[in-house]
Chains A and B, each alone.
Chain A
Amino acid sequence: MSNLKRTPIFSEYEKYGAKTIDFGGWDLPVQFSSIKHEHEVTRTKAGLFDVSHMGEIIVKGPKSLAFLQQMTTNDVAKLSPKRIQYTFMCYPDGGTVDDFVVYMIDEEEYLLVVNAANTDKDYEWLVKNNHYSDAEVTIDNVSKDYAQLALQGPLSEEILQNLTDTNLSEIKFFRFENVALSSIDKPAIVSRTGYTGEDGFEIYIDPSAGPELWNLLLETGKEKGLEPIGLGARDTLRFESNLALYGQELSKDISPIEAGLGFAVKINKQADFIGKQVLQNQVGNGPNRKLVGIEMIDKGIPRHGYAVLKDQEEIGYITSGTQSPTLEKNLGLAMIQTEFAEEGTELTIQVRKRELRAVVVKTPFYKRQK
Chain B
Amino acid sequence: MNLPEELLYSKDHEWIKKEGNNVRIGITEFAQDELGDIVFIELPEVDDEVSGDEPFGSVESVKTVSELYAPVGGKVVEVNEELEDNPEYVNESPYEKAWMVVVELSDESELDELLTAEQYKAFIEQD
Contacts and interface: CB of A to CB of B under 8 A. Distances in A.
B1 interface: no
A322 B63 contact: yes
A330 interface: yes
Contacts of A236: 62
A36 B65 contact: no
Contact of A232 (B36, B60, B65, B84): B36
A35 B36 CA distance: 7
Interface residues of A, number: 18
Interface of B: 36-37, 39-40, 42, 58, 60-63, 65, 84, 91
Nearest to A21: B63
B40 A31 contact: no
A323 B62 contact: yes
A236 B37 CA distance: 13
Contacts of A34: 36-37, 91
Contact of B40 (A36, A232, A330): A330
A301 B40 contact: yes
A35 B39 CA distance: 11
B62 A325 contact: yes
Contact of A323 (B40, B42, B58): B40
Contacts of B62: 35-36, 232, 236, 322-323, 325
A301 B58 CA distance: 11
A184 B91 CA distance: 40
Top 5 closest A-B pairs, CB basis? A323-B39, A35-B62, A36-B37, A34-B37, A301-B40
Nearest to A230: B36
A232 B61 CA distance: 11
8 contacts: A30-B36, A30-B63, A34-B37, A35-B63, A301-B39, A301-B60, A322-B62, A352-B65
Interface of A: 30-31, 34-37, 232, 235-236, 299-301, 303, 322-323, 325, 330, 352
Contact of A35 (B37, B42, B65): B37
B58 A352 contact: yes
Given A30-B63, A35-B62, A300 B40 contact: yes
Contacts of A301: 39-40, 60, 65
Question: Which of B40, B58, B63, B65 is the most central at the interface, judged by chain A CB atoms within 10 Å of its CB?
Answer: B63
Contacts of B40: 299-301, 323, 330
- Residue of B65, B84, B91 with highest tally of chain A CB at under 10 A: B65
Nearest to B62: A35
Contacts of B58: 352
Contacts of A300: 40, 42
A229 B44 CA distance: 35
Contacts of B60: 301, 323
Contacts of B36: 30-31, 34-35, 232
A352 B60 CA distance: 13
A31 B42 CA distance: 24
A323 B91 CA distance: 16
Contacts of A325: 62
Nearest to A235: B63
A100 B49 CA distance: 51
Nearest to B37: A36
